[in-house]
Structure 1
Amino acid sequence: MVALLVGGQPALGAGRPAVPDFVVYAFSQSDVHDEDPQVYRIAPDVTIRAIGKWSTNGDEAADYNFGQIVRYHDAGVTFMGSGTASVIFPHDFPSPAVFDDMSTRDADNLPVPHDEFGFPVPARRGNIFKPAYREYLLGWARVQIDGGVDGINLDEVNAGFSGGQKYGFNGNEGFDDYALADFNRYLLAKYPQFTVADWRDRFGMTADNVPANGDFDYREYLRVNGWNRDPLNAANPLAAEWGRVTANRMYADDTSFTATYLRRYWKEMVDHLRGYARRKHGRHLLISSNGLLPYVDFNSVGMYPWNPDEQTPDYRGADYVPVVDGHLNGAKSLQANYRYLKAMNARIAGDVPVAVFIDWPNDMMTNYLNLPLAEKQDYWRIFGAEAYANGLFPSFHLKDTLNPAAEQYGMLDFFAGYTRFYRDNGRLFVRNHPEERAVSVTSSDIAASVLVQRGTGRRTVHLVNHRYQQGIVPQRDVTVAVDLPSCPRRITLYSPDLSKPVSPASTCEKGRLIVTVDRLDYYGVLAVT
């Protein structure tokens, strides 16, 4: 692989560090044999899922169009392979028996259907506790590594625990023999001194069914107590020990059985793939996933309904594509939601980038696609900018495998022009972390934030205009006040809405900085140096 500059750093073959300084992220997912020429027009630093292995499409090297990777690198773009880590179909395996064996199980040891997906053939979730299933996932990932991908994005790693529509998503899934054996080990490690009497008194076990000999039958325990169709019932004293899995999240403070062992198996898979790429190809492999997971080089968070990031009265989660009567609700700010993701990402994964993308197929993608063209553009000018303003990265949506490509509905020229600002001023947007520093602005319609850059300590003040009425309403003579450790030497205003940076009027005394911005359209960044 040639030493290209991607995100201001050498490409992977030249020894890219584990945490890349990507600035422009894009979402362009094709089937493994397809290619998206839009990518070369935009030339982002990375597409977070350039191709996606699905069912049997991607099992063999011959399925792929690996030749496009050279074209990606020629354009300075990092190529992420990907595939589902959990959705499986009968024809993916040699026989129905193998399909059953790879499938998740309910508390009666029966395969859990996932007919809610609406696929014409039966779909299930793969059992990640089963070593043979993990090897199945690693097998197709190695094919992509051998083909030259720069990284692997594994989608829905821990999705096989919901119970699906059959059980009303109550968590009746994942109760296979491998998980139960691990649960025994977990309980014995957590309570090493427990006697039969302790197990009985603490959890209501019977003398002939305790973990003391490593043969506790949790399914039998659930059946006897009438919880086999609702294992996470609050009346079950072992439900908290088992834990409730949140899809696409591995919370750092969750020490329940499922969280502990899922992290363990996820790390084993990540270590295997990185080791394979290093031993066989002499390069670092980037790892990412859908959600907030540890051990990654960057996280990519899908925005979809029912996400766990903001609990609304109807439990639909944060509204990442806010729409009112079919029009963009640009008056809403996502700052609190983005700050939550940034902070939770740091707790789970450490100091690695986190990108957000509109996941699909779901209501949020439908709402976005149904916006008038000008409001689609405004979505990125407001909420894409607000992601940058809070230390995250928006993934500009070029293509998925179901909906029209951006070029077909008139967005490609916009993306090509708009992303140029972030690429040209990339030093302002990498390694940024929000500061809990109050910013006073003479308008309640402006979301303001202060970011500090790891390594340099440089601060930037970000202003996002939310005065919106089916179009942005520019604000004039905006006064911004913030207390800094010391007065800066220079203030420069950068904006994708300006042809070039400007030096706004400012005063500073004892660290109290006051800046007047003559006009704020969508987004402005005050660089404090």
Structure 2
Amino acid sequence: MKAEQHFLIVLVISLLLFDGALFAETTPNLSRAVVYTMQETTDSDYGVDLARSVGSEVLVRGWFKWNKASDFTAWKPVAAKVHGWGGLFGGGITCSALYDKENGITHEQLLDMATRGTDGNLVNAWDQPGIRHGSLSCPAYRDYLFRWCREQIDAGADYLFMDEHTAALSDKEGYDNYSISDFRRYLLEEFPVSRGWKPNDSRWIQKFKIDLTNREVCPDGTMSSFDYRGYLRVNNLLQKPGQPANSLHDAWSQFRKWRDDHVWKGLTDRIRAYGKERGRKILISANGLAKYVDLQVFGIWGQWSTREGHIDLSENRIAYWRSQVQRGRDLADANVPVVLFHDWGFGNPPFPWLAVPPSERIVWMRTAGAEIFAAGAFFAFPVLGPFGCDAKKDGTLSAIKQQAAFYSKHRNLYLESRYVGSEKISSHAPNLSLAAWWQDKPQAMLIHVINRNLVNNSLQVQKNVPIEIPVNRVPKEAMVISPDFSGEKPVVCKLDSGKLELILGELDAYSVAVLQYGDSVNLDLVKDPARTRTTGFWSRPVRNRFAVQPGGMVANADELNSYIQGKLHQELRNPPTFLVNAVKPGKLHIHVRAVATMGARLECRVDEQPARVEELPDRDHKNDGEAGEYDKTFSFDIPAGLHNVTVDNSGGDWMTVTWFEFEGAFAEVPGNK
């Protein structure tokens, strides 16, 4: 080899190694980040300067590939500038939307990558002509998704935000040939009910009503050629594949969950492997709570409330935010950061954050944003976004700077302390959100106090605010800090009837009382009860059996639907049964939020014995599962021993359940460790 060639090879290798080392040295530790900002799109010094001005440590969706991809190579200097101050630069892609002619794809490529309806035809995604959903079972589509991840990584992205990682399919999508083939393989090899059955086993007809002799369903007379679309067609199920007459609907739902998980795991592994080849660690989140992620990032959506065009802070949401922190960490199987942001989509308005005046957005960030931090999550401040979202232009930037500076200065309080509880702390002052934390070094209790007291859409400062905490010791020192003032202020503490009472002289939006003890404190009475919160989805739950764990929490809670269906939607019914091993008699508390206009009828059965029933007639005529017309807790006895406890609805239509609480002492359910 000539000396010149050898020199060039060594030079190229050195530059590649240097590039990877440079990223490794400048990429900060995610576990130390507290200031997240939404930054779509940061493609010039303008966006970079905005991010830097607020002290952003993680830029979420700085780049994003939705329809036509940008030239990410040309944006490489943008990411490099963020790395210059130690920030993490975030890119991202959609894992679902596929436009007919995006990025030069041919019609043949579109037909290959797009999923189909039950009739085998293309479907307009979200009823938008010219937009499809990609098929996660299609190898070419998975390669297409990875391509845009690779290009952003090469341009300097440290973190990828993967939108709609399960492809966001409706119940009438997902029936492309690749998915049909995967479903066939799933039935034969993976589905617990039929795994190991021979392709010509008679149980296919007995269990699932699959006519092996019908060539429209099984062209070769066995399950080796099973066509699920043909099965739907001959059984007149094309229009409503989810109705009870479809004996394979549960299997299809479980297949979809299995396939989506398998593909998501493969894509995240592939991204990380590519980053590792480049000498870098690439961070990943979905849009929504997901497995296999480094941080959980999801939209606020239903927790954003307005009334007559103005923000509505009437509801204390700390318990909800906290439940999402716990659920996110459970799914990730790690103590990952949980980040909330204001998302956008196809609604009216498409970006709800912009539906109120900037002055009210500032109030929301100072109060509801503080609630999110007080629950142990982080709020990603909206610096840049679509539809004209620009914090500099709308006047919210200075407020974001003030909030971000506070969280950055006091990051140790949020990163090195732990949440204890919120529901046992009380106050006579109106419209407060409260949460207690504990810090080990130095030993101190932190009391987060958020003021939600709006009058005529304006936040009202409260004076001499009393806070009662079920702790029977006065701290050695006490002070209060806040983003609303500089420095520290004293706080009055005293014991009253065996409980600690604080008096905050003035509360603007958010304050944190720091109570220095110097040694441990009994926090048992401060802890929240073990409540398992539900998730609302308008589909038939795949799972209907849930084990109650020794601490009273429910396993697989992410599959626990808040909608308990009644008689009207038989195709959506699959009421939950809880497997309980009660050491002694206990109770099940069920918090009902709302019912449909036809009303509901709550039933609780233990081992299928006659149920105790609560009639729930409609009260508000809204037919809104989030309306809160009941917000009432119903309690049911659980005898000692091993039992199946079923929660059902025999009324006219749905009811929504916010949470389930199992009170008492519980042991492991045999076979569910």
Both structures adopt the same fold (TM-score exceeding 0.5): yes
The residue type equivalent to 2:132 in the other structure is: R
Correspondence for 1:226 among 236, 244, 259: 236
The residue aligned with 1:67 is: 77
SS at match of 1:417: helix
The residue aligned with 1:102 is: 113
The residue aligned with 1:165 is: none
The residue type equivalent to 1:441 in the other structure is: S
Q: Is the CA contact 2:180–2:228 (under 8 Å) kept in the aligned structure 1?
A: yes
Q: Is the CA contact 2:479–2:491 (under 8 Å) kept in the aligned structure 1?
A: yes
Q: Is the CA contact 2:425–2:435 (under 8 Å) kept in the aligned structure 1?
A: yes
Structure 1 stretches lacking a partner, 5+ long: 1-9, 163-170, 244-255, 305-317
- Alpha-carbon deviation of 1:116? 3.2
- Name the CA shift for 1:374/1:268 in 2 (closer, same or farther; >3 Å): same
The residue aligned with 1:311 is: none
Q: Is the CA contact 2:268–2:284 (under 8 Å) kept in the aligned structure 1?
A: yes
SS at match of 2:344: coil
The residue aligned with 2:291 is: 294
Correspondence for 2:343 among 342, 345, 359: 359
Correspondence for 1:48 among 25, 48, 60: 60
Q: Could you tell me how far apart the structure 2 residues matched to 1:24 and 1:432 are?
A: 17
- Name the CA shift for 1:133/1:271 in 2 (closer, same or farther; >3 Å): same
1:416-443 CA distance string (max 9 Å, x none): 2222111111112236654346112223
1:151-185 CA distance string (max 9 Å, x none): 111112223411xxxxxxxx111112222222223
The residue type equivalent to 1:174 in the other structure is: G
Q: Could you tell me how far apart the structure 2 residues matched to 1:11 and 1:26 are?
A: 23
Please state if 1:338 is matched with 2:325. Answer: no
The residue aligned with 2:33 is: 22
- Alpha-carbon deviation of 1:265? 0.9
Q: How does 1:93-172 map to 2 (within 5 A)?
A: 93-114=104-125, 116-117=127-128, 122-162=130-170, 171-172=171-172
The residue type equivalent to 1:44 in the other structure is: S
**For structure 1, which segment, 416-425 or 333-342, has the greater mean C-alpha deviation from structure 2 after superposition?**
333-342
Q: Could you tell me how far apart the structure 1 residues matched to 2:185 and 2:427 are?
A: 56
Q: Could you tell me how far apart the structure 2 residues matched to 1:179 and 1:18 are?
A: 39
Q: Could you tell me how far apart the structure 2 residues matched to 1:160 and 1:205 are?
A: 28
1:258-316 CA distance string (max 9 Å, x none): 11221111111111111111112x12111112111111111211233xxxxxxxxxxxx
Correspondence for 1:522 among 492, 509, 524: 509
Please state if 1:445 is matched with 2:448. Answer: no
Q: How does 1:91-490 map to 2 (within 5 A)?
A: 91-92=101-102, 93-114=104-125, 116-117=127-128, 122-162=130-170, 171-188=171-188, 189=190, 190=192, 191-194=194-197, 196-208=201-213, 213-243=223-253, 256-280=254-278, 282-304=279-301, 318=302, 320-350=303-333, 351-361=335-345, 362-363=347-348, 366-430=351-415, 434-436=419-421, 438-452=424-438, 459-469=445-455, 470-484=457-471, 488-490=475-477
Q: Could you tell me how far apart the structure 2 residues matched to 1:339 and 1:131 are?
A: 38
The residue aligned with 1:248 is: none
Q: Is the CA contact 1:430–1:453 (under 8 Å) kept in the aligned structure 2?
A: no
1:232-253 CA distance string (max 9 Å, x none): 223322212222xxxxxxxxxx
Q: Is the CA contact 1:496–1:524 (under 8 Å) kept in the aligned structure 2?
A: yes
SS at match of 2:75: coil
Q: Is the CA contact 2:28–2:88 (under 8 Å) kept in the aligned structure 1?
A: no
Q: Is the CA contact 1:152–1:288 (under 8 Å) kept in the aligned structure 2?
A: yes
The residue aligned with 1:310 is: none
The residue type equivalent to 2:56 in the other structure is: P
**For structure 1, which segment, 388-397 or 447-456, has the greater mean C-alpha deviation from structure 2 after superposition?**
447-456
- Name the CA shift for 1:478/1:136 in 2 (closer, same or farther; >3 Å): same
Using the aligned pairs only, state the percent identity: 27
- Alpha-carbon deviation of 1:459? 4.7
- Alpha-carbon deviation of 1:145? 0.9
Give the TM-score normalised by structure 2: 0.66
- Alpha-carbon deviation of 1:503? 3.3
Q: Could you tell me how far apart the structure 1 residues matched to 2:395 and 2:332 are?
A: 36
Q: Could you tell me how far apart the structure 1 residues matched to 2:304 and 2:172 are?
A: 31
- Alpha-carbon deviation of 1:33? 7.1
**For structure 1, which segment, 217-226 or 446-455, has the greater mean C-alpha deviation from structure 2 after superposition?**
446-455
- Name the CA shift for 1:70/1:12 in 2 (closer, same or farther; >3 Å): closer
The residue aligned with 1:499 is: 486
- Name the CA shift for 1:12/1:298 in 2 (closer, same or farther; >3 Å): farther
Q: Could you tell me how far apart the structure 2 residues matched to 1:206 and 1:451 are?
A: 61
The residue type equivalent to 1:411 in the other structure is: T
Q: Is the CA contact 1:127–1:133 (under 8 Å) kept in the aligned structure 2?
A: yes
Q: Which has the higher contact order (CA 8 A, sep 6+)?
A: 1
* Aligned-pair Cα RMSD in Å: 2.9
SS at match of 1:67: helix
- Name the CA shift for 1:484/1:238 in 2 (closer, same or farther; >3 Å): farther
The residue type equivalent to 1:69 in the other structure is: A
- Name the CA shift for 1:395/1:485 in 2 (closer, same or farther; >3 Å): farther
Q: Could you tell me how far apart the structure 2 residues matched to 1:337 and 1:383 are?
A: 12
The residue type equivalent to 2:277 in the other structure is: R
1:372-399 CA distance string (max 9 Å, x none): 3321210101111111111111111111
- Alpha-carbon deviation of 1:368? 3.2
The residue type equivalent to 1:207 in the other structure is: L
- Name the CA shift for 1:364/1:394 in 2 (closer, same or farther; >3 Å): farther
- Alpha-carbon deviation of 1:479? 2.1
Q: Is the CA contact 1:487–1:512 (under 8 Å) kept in the aligned structure 2?
A: no
Q: Could you tell me how far apart the structure 2 residues matched to 1:230 and 1:34 are?
A: 52
Q: Is the CA contact 2:39–2:384 (under 8 Å) kept in the aligned structure 1?
A: yes
- Name the CA shift for 1:30/1:110 in 2 (closer, same or farther; >3 Å): same
The residue type equivalent to 2:33 in the other structure is: F
Q: Is the CA contact 2:468–2:502 (under 8 Å) kept in the aligned structure 1?
A: yes
**For structure 1, which segment, 205-214 or 366-375, has the greater mean C-alpha deviation from structure 2 after superposition?**
205-214
- Name the CA shift for 1:91/1:333 in 2 (closer, same or farther; >3 Å): same
Q: Could you tell me how far apart the structure 2 residues matched to 1:268 and 1:174 are?
A: 19
- Name the CA shift for 1:268/1:490 in 2 (closer, same or farther; >3 Å): farther
Q: Is the CA contact 2:403–2:483 (under 8 Å) kept in the aligned structure 1?
A: yes
Q: Could you tell me how far apart the structure 2 residues matched to 1:407 and 1:514 are?
A: 41
Give the total of aligned pairs. 480
Q: Is the CA contact 2:362–2:396 (under 8 Å) kept in the aligned structure 1?
A: yes
Q: Could you tell me how far apart the structure 2 residues matched to 1:66 and 1:504 are?
A: 50
The residue aligned with 2:87 is: 77
The residue type equivalent to 2:244 in the other structure is: A
